[in-house]
Structure 1
Amino acid sequence: MTITETLAPAQTRGLVEITEVHKSFGALHVLRGVSLTVEPGAVTAILGPSGSGKSTLLRTINHLEKVDSGYVAIDGSLVGYKKRGNSLHELREKDILKQRTEIGMVFQNFNLFGHLTALENVVEAPVVAQGKTKAQARRRGLELLERVGLKDKAHAYPRQLSGGQQQRVAIARALALDPKILLFDEPTSALDPELVNEVLDVIRELATSGTTLIIVTHEMGFARDVADTVVFMDQGQIVESGTPAELFANPHEARTKAFFSKIIEPAFNI
């Protein structure tokens, strides 16, 4: 893989630069030259139909998916690769894992360890990945569970929690490493409708915290309320982006207009 662009040194925490990223799975070209800059502390919502490449793009940011060409950088440092001359070479797995400690990710299906309590799920990564003592990690874990409204469930196992509670534990776990960036991949898609708001309320609070958030979501009203920038993707490309007011009220591209025309207006109260 070659690279000709020069990465500008980042002066702040949480700058994401995605440049001309392509990704294919066999004959399926999922990402087609995607470029996107997310400023530090900004909240970006990525919308689009199923199969548009949203989740794949999210997974390239923490190198869960390797890019075929282009690159992702955080605070001026390449993710998953190092530069030698004009070529990129993949980092060793331990170095990739170290990078991932700066990028928290919340998945659709919680991905909690079933044999660990809520608190143990939150404590695990700081102890293993950052060398925190169990006492330090436990104190921080209890603070985070309190932040997401679940301190009283610290000793419950995932099977004893509702889907919304499990997802809130997953958010606390992602926060435990004090990441520069938080990625959310359809965080409410696996939840029953009555549990959606309890998760969205936690993310709304995080949106005011100064951490960079990138959220793939189908919750249009939520995107309008919390995002600084809304990105619409289709067929592996960014079709257009702008503020929520611009994109929801006055999209310019035909594909964007067609997508939003299928959404019932009261769902995002415009």
Structure 2
Amino acid sequence: MSTIAATVEPTATSGLVEIHNVRKSYAGVEVLSGIDLTIEPGEVVTILGPSGSGKSTLLRTINHLESVDSGSVTVDGELIGYELRGDRLHELREREILQRRTQVGIVFQSFNLFPHLTALENVTEAPIALKRLSKDDARTSALGLLDRVGLAEKASAYPRQLSGGQQQRVAIARALALKPKVLLFDEPTSALDPELVGEVLDVIRDLAQLGTTLIIVTHEIGFAREVSDRVVFLDHGVVVEQGPPSDVLVNPQNPRTREFLAKVLG
């Protein structure tokens, strides 16, 4: 597989994510309880925590797949999904939300590829639909992205003809197609057979060298230790502990973090 880092210039001058006092409830149950988090341009942050801790919800508020009840999320100082009128936030119209959301790519655990489109068509669909690129330019860009994730020879294959790991790598190429400032990964290996996990982590590992801001929800502790600039441990919608992997994963200070890691690492 050709490495992505060898073919893309680092772009660590953008991608500042600022999460301020974000709260989110479902049916009266608070899932995010006043999250404050700043992620610097080019930083690689992994979010750990037990099921139901709010990890995926937090990730989805960053690109406004989930609205917030209060607080704010900005990318390079720009609100995603809202505009400020006076001292109140107002949700934008769907078309404006989609335009701003292009700054933040997301890769889901379940791939979410269009089954009736080839790998190439899945990657070209958004740049063409949003009129970012002509069909020819979108095709050229998509072929380059598929090559970067090691799937140049699968451009004409449909999702059903690909393994889970290959589908996830196509999903990563699709997320890169709009050249986002920030990339979100929501447990990108959890739906994969164990022998396919490595090929997806290899691609993310290469992305981590680019200077693009990466925010990764994962249960892969060893991978988090290797690739992260910072690890954030979330529990019951609260940031319990955060810091370098050498601190949080090796010598956690909070008893809840220690308990979680002891269970996960067995």
Asked if these proteins are the same fold (TM beyond 0.5), I'd say yes
Q: Which residue of 1 aligns with 2:170?
A: 169
Cα distance in 1, alignment partners of residues 39 and 230 from structure 2 = 9
Cα distance in 2, alignment partners of residues 194 and 35 from structure 1 = 36
Q: Which residue of 1 aligns with 2:213?
A: 212
Q: Which residue of 2 aligns with 1:94?
A: 95
Cα distance in 1, alignment partners of residues 103 and 91 from structure 2 = 18
Cα distance in 2, alignment partners of residues 264 and 91 from structure 1 = 43
Q: Which residue of 1 aligns with 2:58?
A: 57
Q: How far is the alpha carbon of 1:27 from its aligned partner?
A: 1.8
Cα distance in 2, alignment partners of residues 264 and 255 from structure 1 = 14
Cα distance in 2, alignment partners of residues 162 and 230 from structure 1 = 30
Q: How far is the alpha carbon of 1:248 from its aligned partner?
A: 1.0
Partners of 2:14 and 2:41 within 8 A in 1: yes
* Structure 2 residue 141 is the aligned partner of structure 1 residue 150: no
Q: Which residue of 1 aligns with 2:113?
A: 112
Cα distance in 2, alignment partners of residues 88 and 12 from structure 1 = 27
Cα distance in 1, alignment partners of residues 79 and 179 from structure 2 = 20
Q: How far is the alpha carbon of 1:254 from its aligned partner?
A: 1.0
Please give the secondary structure, in 1, of the residue aligned with 2:249: helix
Q: Which runs of 5+ in 1 are unaligned?
A: 1-10, 266-270
Q: How far is the alpha carbon of 1:79 from its aligned partner?
A: 1.4
Q: How far is the alpha carbon of 1:105 from its aligned partner?
A: 0.4
Whichever residue aligns with residue 84 of structure 2, its letter is K
Q: Which residue of 1 aligns with 2:129?
A: 128
Q: Which runs of 5+ in 2 are unaligned?
A: 1-11
Q: How far is the alpha carbon of 1:219 from its aligned partner?
A: 0.3
Please give the secondary structure, in 1, of the residue aligned with 2:130: helix
Q: Which residue of 2 aligns with 1:22?
A: 23
Partners of 1:101 and 1:129 within 8 A in 2: no
Cα distance in 2, alignment partners of residues 155 and 211 from structure 1 = 28
Cα distance in 1, alignment partners of residues 164 and 264 from structure 2 = 26
Q: How far is the alpha carbon of 1:12 from its aligned partner?
A: 3.6
Q: Structure 2 matches for 1:1-270, cutoff 5 A?
A: 12-264=13-265
Whichever residue aligns with residue 90 of structure 2, its letter is H
Q: How far is the alpha carbon of 1:132 from its aligned partner?
A: 1.1
* Aligned residue pair count: 255
Whichever residue aligns with residue 160 of structure 2, its letter is R
Greater mean deviation of Cα atoms: 204-213 or 256-265: 256-265
Cα distance in 1, alignment partners of residues 242 and 69 from structure 2 = 24
Partners of 1:141 and 1:176 within 8 A in 2: yes
Q: What per-residue deviation string (whole Å, max 9, x for no partner) do you get for residues 112-131 of structure 1?
A: 00000000000000001133
Cα distance in 2, alignment partners of residues 129 and 70 from structure 1 = 29
Please give the secondary structure, in 2, of the residue aligned with 1:59: helix
Q: Which residue of 1 aligns with 2:6?
A: none
Whichever residue aligns with residue 221 of structure 1, its letter is G
Whichever residue aligns with residue 193 of structure 1, its letter is P
Q: Which residue of 2 aligns with 1:7?
A: none
When the two structures are superposed, what TM-score results if normalisation uses the length of structure 1? 0.93
Cα distance in 2, alignment partners of residues 129 and 221 from structure 1 = 38
| Identity in percent | 67
Whichever residue aligns with residue 238 of structure 1, its letter is V
Partners of 2:81 and 2:101 within 8 A in 1: no
Cα distance in 2, alignment partners of residues 197 and 54 from structure 1 = 22
Q: What per-residue deviation string (whole Å, max 9, x for no partner) do you get for residues 183-235 of structure 1?
A: 00000000000000000000000000110000000000000000000000000
Whichever residue aligns with residue 51 of structure 1, its letter is G
Superposition CA RMSD, Å: 1.0
Displacement over 6 Å in runs of 4+: none
Greater mean deviation of Cα atoms: 125-134 or 157-166: 125-134
Please give the secondary structure, in 1, of the residue aligned with 2:114: coil
